[in-house]
Amino acid sequence: MALLTIVRKLLGETRGSLLISTLGFFGLALLWNWGMSEFQFPSDADEPTPSASADSEGTEREEPRRERRRGRAGPQIYVFFGVPAEQMLGIAPGETPTLAMQAAIANHPLVFLALLGWAISRASAAVAGEVERGTLDLTLSRPVRRSTFLAAQILATLIVFALLGLAITAGHLASARFIFRLNGTPPPLEYLPMVGSLVALGMAVFGYTLPISSGSLSRARSGIIGLAITLAGIAGMIFARQYEEYDWVANLSVFEFYAPVANTLDPTREQWMDLATLGGVFAVGSIASFLIFLRRDLPSNSG
């Protein structure tokens, strides 16, 4: 009862940001699918090409607006964002795999930014933020276990990530079924590995930031440390890709275990292990958070 009450309050406090994020993810998915549709079934494919005899100035004036863009969405976009090249090459655009291309949105920098922002922000606000703004007393002076409070923070964050993943899924589903012409309409359950990858990465980042927050009095400090760990993870990935002998460094980064497209296409044992590793990072971080939070002093909000 207390758990759900706290979760409801936490979600209520973030409902504005959450609404913007989910709408943003939904909109991004629509844009993504629009690009896919243009790639698979170009809308101008059947239109007559401008007359070769027309002079160049006249042609430019009479071309439809969309003809003036630099080029159609090409396969390089989807390869760049994580679709394996062999899935794209040698296949006619109209036969490219819709599900894989849709799942590649999970590698989009905007999705990454929002996901990491939510993870670090939620974790640093969970305890340190509540101590800092003095609202922890409000809850913990009532008959509420500290473990219940922390579990509510974790559950609320899990719900946030699930909603973000579902917003992308909803964008994909709406696009494939009602809005754009795509090569096939994947069933809803096919998106679960993508959503799972998103949630797992978010919870892993949340998981290693939460222990810092659980023992801290400053939201900014725990947020900055969480961000530093995240950036170090990204830098470690880049470093490991550059130097073969330091390949092991990549294993220290949670991003090494994030493979939404591969998970969606053909999840192997290795890919499930990757997901489990992300879950493990979250679990270890959560256990450490409980140990720290249950033993720590909660000083007054006035300092």
Partner 1 sequence: MILTNGLTKHYGSFPALSKVSMEVRRGEVYGLLGPNGSGKTTTIRLLLGLLRPTSGTASVDGFDSWRHSLEVRRRISYLPGEVRLPGSVRGYQLLRYLNDLRGGGGMDRAVALAERVMGLDLRRKVRTFSTGMKQKLALAQAFADPVDILILDEPTSALDPSARNDVLRLVAEARAQGQTVIFSGHVLTEVEQVADRVAIMRRGRLMHVEDMHERRRNLRLLLVRFQGTPPSTFPEELELSARERNGEVLLLEHRGAAGPLLGWLASQPVADLAIGTEDLRALYDRYHGPNPEPDPEDR
Q: How far is the CB of 291 from partner 1 (least distance, A)?
A: 14
Told to check if 135 binds partner 1 by CB under 8 A, we report: yes
DSSP H/E element including 278:
helix 269-295
CA–CA distance, 83 with 35 (Å, rounded to integer): 15
Site string for partner 1, 238-277 (x = CB under 8 A): ----------------------------------------
Give the range of 132-140, 199-207, 248-256, 275-283 binding partner 1 by CB under 8 A: 132-140
Told to check if 134 binds partner 1 by CB under 8 A, we report: yes
Between 48 and 143, CB nearer to partner 1: 143
Told to check if 151 binds partner 1 by CB under 8 A, we report: no
Looking at residue 154, its amino acid is: I
Answer whether 154's CB lies under 8 Å from 286's CB: yes
Told to check if 218 binds partner 1 by CB under 8 A, we report: no
CA–CA distance, 38 with 15 (Å, rounded to integer): 34
Q: CA 164, 167, 233, 280 torsion: positive or negative?
A: positive
Backbone torsions φ then ψ of 134, nearest 5 degrees: 80, 10
Site string for partner 1, 3-42 (x = CB under 8 A): --xx--x--xx-----------------------------
**From candidates 58, 74, 188, 299, binder to partner 1 by CB under 8 A:** 299
# residues contacting partner 1 (CB under 8 A): 26
Backbone torsions φ then ψ of 180, nearest 5 degrees: -115, 155
Told to check if 142 binds partner 1 by CB under 8 A, we report: yes
Cα-trace Rg, the chain: 23
Q: How far is the CB of 121 from partner 1 (least distance, A)?
A: 15
Between 49 and 300, CB nearer to partner 1: 300
CA–CA distance, 188 with 131 (Å, rounded to integer): 41
Give the range of 33-41, 46-54, 129-137, 260-268 binding partner 1 by CB under 8 A: 129-137
**From candidates 92, 141, 187, 242, binder to partner 1 by CB under 8 A:** 141
Told to check if 1 binds partner 1 by CB under 8 A, we report: yes
Looking at residue 301, its amino acid is: N
Answer whether 180's CB lies under 8 Å from 217's CB: no
Which of 113, 153, 165, 160 shows the shortest CA–CA distance to 286?
A: 153
**From candidates 34, 75, 139, 279, binder to partner 1 by CB under 8 A:** 139
Please give the span between the terminal C-alpha atoms of the chain, in angstroms, as a whole number: 31
Q: How far is the CB of 146 from partner 1 (least distance, A)?
A: 8
